[in-house]
């Protein structure tokens, strides 16, 4: 149970950091790049060794890790932007409902069974995102649907690709650790290169506060993944229940945090969207049982 609660709290903490960045004039891109460098360092220190070696360069999963690095930094920037613009609740709903895409992929490619319950859950995900994203924000204007939609599609495709790589290339714990850290390193390298170009062109300047923000973001980001893996292996919940319970916990905790700390606007559309999100997750996970 500790790993479940810790994973929920760390995910909420990451959203809170993103929400606070504008208040302290933090450059989100610089913070995210620093975050990935911190993830690599934290993982290496915590495990006591660097999980990837020179031999990893010739591993069959290396091209996938490099591609995943692009996906990581792209989605994380989208999460940061959407949290600032659309709020914690809307962003979290779009992110967690992205599980619909790997589910649909499994139904089509792996011919998994889909009953009326699972199909209903998949269909409920779309009005849930629309209602929460289209609800009026703090300025009483409808929010943009594009950022949550991109998070939904991009996050779902990233999860689908992760499942595919896990199935076909990552056969043991050591390989999984090496792959994960290599993805972080790839995202960090891409980000450092981009920032270097921006600095050379005079478009940005590296500031200490952005690095500090990246450290604050990177440590919980690494451990949110570590505790998530430990939760899956703890057998506290059945594997079919663990991820839905986690996603619902993150949705509920994020919504309460957004209301309590940031006074995010609450209206009937957002409440209905949140309720539909919970229903969709439950139906996708348990609708056919």
- pLDDT by residue for the chain (289 residues), tens only, comes to 888 899 999 999 999 999 999 999 999 999 999 999 999 999 888 877 776 666 677 889 899 989 999 999 999 999 999 998 888 988 999 999 998 898 888 888 878 777 888 899 999 999 998 888 776 555 556 667 889 999 999 999 998 898 888 878 877 777 877 888 888 999 999 999 999 999 999 999 999 999 999 999 999 999 998 888 778 767 666 555 677 888 889 999 999 999 899 988 778 888 899 999 999 998 988 876 6
Q: How high is the pLDDT of residue 145?
A: 81
Structure tokens at 271: 């409440």
Q: How high is the pLDDT of residue 159?
A: 86
Q: What are the sequence ranges of the domains in the chain?
A: 2-286
Q: How high is the pLDDT of residue 77?
A: 95
> Of the candidates 38, 96, 15, 18, which has an alpha carbon nearest to the alpha carbon of residue 212?
38
Q: How high is the pLDDT of residue 139?
A: 54
Q: Which residues contact 169 (CB under 8 A, 6 or more apart)?
A: 60, 61, 64, 175, 179
């Amino acid at each position: 149970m500790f790993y479940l609660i810790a994973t929920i709290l760390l995910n909420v903490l990451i959203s809170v950091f993103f929400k606070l960045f504008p208040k302290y004039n933090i450059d989100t891109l610089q913070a995210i790049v620093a975050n990935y460098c911190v993830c690599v360092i934290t993982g290496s220190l915590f495990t006591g060794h660097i999980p990837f070696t020179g031999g990893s360069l010739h591993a069959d999963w290396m091209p996938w890790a490099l591609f995943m690095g692009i996906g990581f930094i792209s989605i994380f920037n989208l999460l940061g932007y959407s949290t600032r613009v659309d709020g914690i609740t809307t962003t979290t709903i779009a992110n967690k409902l992205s599980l619909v895409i790997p589910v649909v992929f499994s139904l089509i490619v792996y011919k998994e069974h889909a009953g009326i319950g699972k199909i209903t859950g998949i269909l409920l995900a779309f009005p849930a995102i629309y209602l929460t994203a289209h609800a009026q924000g703090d300025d009483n204007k409808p929010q943009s649907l594009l950022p949550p939609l991109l998070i939904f599609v991009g996050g779902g495709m990233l999860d689908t690709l992760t499942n595919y790589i896990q199935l076909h290339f990552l056969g043991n714990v050591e390989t999984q650790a090496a792959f994960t850290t290599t993805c972080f390193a790839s995202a960090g390298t891409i980000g450092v290169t981009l920032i270097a170009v921006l600095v050379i062109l005079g478009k940005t300047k590296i500031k200490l506060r952005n690095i500090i923000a990246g450290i604050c973001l990177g440590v919980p980001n690494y451990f949110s993944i570590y505790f998530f893996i430990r939760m899956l292996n703890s057998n506290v919940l059945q594997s079919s229940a663990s991820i839905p319970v986690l996603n619902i916990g993150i949705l509920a905790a994020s919504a309460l945090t957004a209301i309590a700390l940031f006074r995010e606007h609450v209206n009937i559309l957002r409440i209905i969207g949140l309720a539909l999100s919970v229903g969709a997750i439950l139906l996708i996970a348990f609708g056919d049982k």
